[in-house]
Structure 1
Amino acid sequence: MTLDTALTRLVGVRHPVVQTGMGWVAGPRLVSAVAAAGGLGILASATMTLAELRSAVREVRSRTAEPFGVNLRADATDAPARVQLLIDEGVRVASFALAPSASLIETLKDAGVVVIPSVGAVRHAVKVAAWGADAVIVQGGEGGGHTGSVATTLLLPSVVDAVDIPVVAAGGFYDGRGLVAALAYGAAGVAMGTRFLLTAESTVPQAVKEAYLARDLTGTVVTTRVDGIPHRVLRTDLVDALEHAGRASALLRAVRNATRFRRLTGLSWPTLIRDGVAMRRTRKLTWSQVVMAANTPMLLRAGLVEGHPDTGVLASGQVVGAITDLPTCANLIDGMVKEATEIIAGLPRTDHTAR
């Protein structure tokens, strides 16, 4: 069973289901499993060096011949080099967590790469559409990671009405019912993070997956104490401690994490500083928020890679409270599409004939 939409036609995948580029989670194993199952898998590159990204792209290619994408940080100083890597390696889709510049979009599109930025507001969708983006992923307040306060059910139709490019819905989706609802709102598909984090192919440690499954619909909280801007995470003792920590201790922790991240990735201090300056300019952050942003990759790594929720944070959408199993990516996607097509087939049809 398939659902033909503007997204499937644009990208060349069988099903209108996207796996988002989650840092430390969306690696070659998960991405290739999603691609092989007919969805659009997206590699997370922000926590990779340029060489690691090239290796990851080639590993996905060795596992599947299906289309996949790479998520890029538009404000990274080496963004042009990463864009060129995608072009050289023949990656089908470039995804962006922040709005890429018009010049980056043009470079990618000239090379035949599909550009799909993620947005959290109508005005951002309008902006990237005017710059030539091929589609947008719109995430409502239910989503994991950095998010706005507007619910998907309100933000999605507002974006659909505002742009004339395919819109992919994110924030609160996990099954065929949600897929049908998104299509009814005018979306061309759905994008999911937490649902794919909780699959058999996800490399997140089993104990951490079980910690996710134990949460209910109130098990997440939006906090600014991770990196200075709103971030949805699981409620844990560490998050509670961060919420009550003083500013000085928070900044000291961030500096230490920046040092650890530099060592892990091999980045130089000048590169980190340049990235910070670019982040401050493009995201309109204070210097305090820029320093705090160093927390994100290392705190996520502690939880999602090292398996230590007590010393790390676990990004999550509210949808975690509705998830109870760890299916394979193939079973998840096939089940969603089957459920969606059955729902659509069973919907009452209006008789427009004259009475």
Structure 2
Amino acid sequence: MDTALTRLVGVRHPVVQTGMGWVAGPRLVSATANAGALGVLASATMTPDRLRAAVREVRSRTSAPFGVNLRADAADAAERVRIIVEEGVRVASFALAPSPGLIATLKEAGVVVVPTVGARRHAEKVAAWGADAVIVQGAEGGGHTGEVATTVLLPQVVDAVGIPVVAAGGFCDGRGLVAALAYGAAGIAMGTRFLLTSDSTVPDAVKARYLSAGVGDVTVTRAVDGLPHRMLRTDLVRDLERAGRVRALLRALRHAAAFRRVSGLGPRALLHDGRALRHGKDLTWAQVLLAASTPMLLKASMVDGDPDAGVMASGQVAGLIADLPSCEALITRVIEEADAILTTLTSPELRTPQRP
């Protein structure tokens, strides 16, 4: 299936596996790439040295293009960009809008820049700064999310920018791919659907919790870090929502200290990231501290395998997913289903009801 996305990044299928922290590691990314889609390595929870090692591990597993997801506001963003350039990574994706300087550095090195946005004005901004494409996540998407549904946000952005647009938020199958293409997108990005594959390293107990969830079990809460965060509703989420300020801060201090050890960030870098997170979001320093603890709450479930002790970011689409295919089987199924639907839509004899 040839689209502006496949031509831009050099993959066979217009499908992107998003860069999910603690989830999108070398195994999942390489499996996605080998299946013909764009795998994206999540780097925010890695030290720079670990990022370089992870890129090389992906490269050892596949010769296909792949990407790396970065936090544009991180204190060491420039160092991570340098690693991407030196290691010859094809795509750099960003959870927040990268600066014009970062975009220019990457583009000069031949790296395709694809930020993720949740609002039309943000898409217009990064397009004006030189981004090559943009991923647009609607409110259905997992993790930090906005208020506008994909079906409203996507056509807004498609009409506003002149670069390829990839649709995210609410996609898991070929029907969604066809719908996104009809809106003018060049492909779809999926997170929860790739988390729930046999190639994902997420522990089985956590995958089982996702598979048992209904659409109504996926909620949006501000209790974790002060920002709208879509996740599975669990006892921990209820506990956080009921916790008093002092209890919440004590928990955040403990987890923030643990994240320092895992990420290798020093106090000055954490303070820089906290200021960047606070800027423009009207967060108190207490909420910033809670945000600093979020990666460890995610790690408790996605790595340590304890769904009752961690946070499980999730798109609403989790309520539609009932199996754990390999990445190859998933992507084959999505493309075959999309092809079948497109054939039906474009074949008059198949559209016309047949009389008995």
CA drift at 1:318: 0.3
Distance 1:329 1:17 in 2: 11
Which amino acid letter does the alignment assign opposite residue 57 of structure 2? E
- Please name the residue that 1:324 is paired with: 322
- Please name the residue that 1:289 is paired with: 287
- Please name the residue that 1:302 is paired with: 300
Distance 2:85 2:29 in 1: 18
- Please name the residue that 1:47 is paired with: 45
- Please name the residue that 2:198 is paired with: 200
Secondary structure in 2 matching 1:15: coil
Distance 1:228 1:310 in 2: 20
Distance 2:280 2:259 in 1: 21
1:208-261 deviation digits (Å, cap 9, x = unpaired): 101100011111110011111010110111111111111221122111111111
Secondary structure in 1 matching 2:92: strand
The answer to whether the Cα contact below 8 Å between 1:75 and 1:282 also exists between their aligned partners in 2 is: no
Identity of aligned residues (%): 70
CA drift at 1:287: 1.7
Distance 2:170 2:305 in 1: 25
**Unaligned ranges ≥5, structure 2:** 350-356
1:163-194 deviation digits (Å, cap 9, x = unpaired): 01000000000000000000000000000000
Distance 2:147 2:321 in 1: 22
- Please name the residue that 1:142 is paired with: 140
- Please name the residue that 2:337 is paired with: 339
Secondary structure in 1 matching 2:215: coil
Q: Select 1:169's aligned residue among 164, 167, 170.
A: 167
- Please name the residue that 1:101 is paired with: 99
- Please name the residue that 2:249 is paired with: 251
- Please name the residue that 1:73 is paired with: 71
- Please name the residue that 2:127 is paired with: 129
The answer to whether the Cα contact below 8 Å between 1:95 and 1:115 also exists between their aligned partners in 2 is: yes
Distance 1:119 1:277 in 2: 20
Secondary structure in 2 matching 1:47: coil
Distance 1:286 1:67 in 2: 40
Distance 2:173 2:327 in 1: 12
CA drift at 1:282: 6.0
Distance 1:280 1:271 in 2: 14
Q: Select 1:59's aligned residue among 53, 57, 64.
A: 57
- Please name the residue that 2:268 is paired with: 270
- Please name the residue that 1:158 is paired with: 156
Distance 2:161 2:237 in 1: 37
Distance 2:206 2:57 in 1: 25
Name the stretch that deviates more: 275-284 or 193-202. 275-284
The answer to whether the Cα contact below 8 Å between 2:278 and 2:284 also exists between their aligned partners in 1 is: yes
CA drift at 1:350: 7.5
- Please name the residue that 2:31 is paired with: 33
Distance 2:174 2:128 in 1: 32
Q: What is the aligned-residue RMSD (CA, Å)?
A: 1.2
Which amino acid letter does the alignment assign opposite residue 51 of structure 1? D
- Please name the residue that 1:90 is paired with: 88
TM-score (norm 1): 0.96
**Unaligned ranges ≥5, structure 1:** none
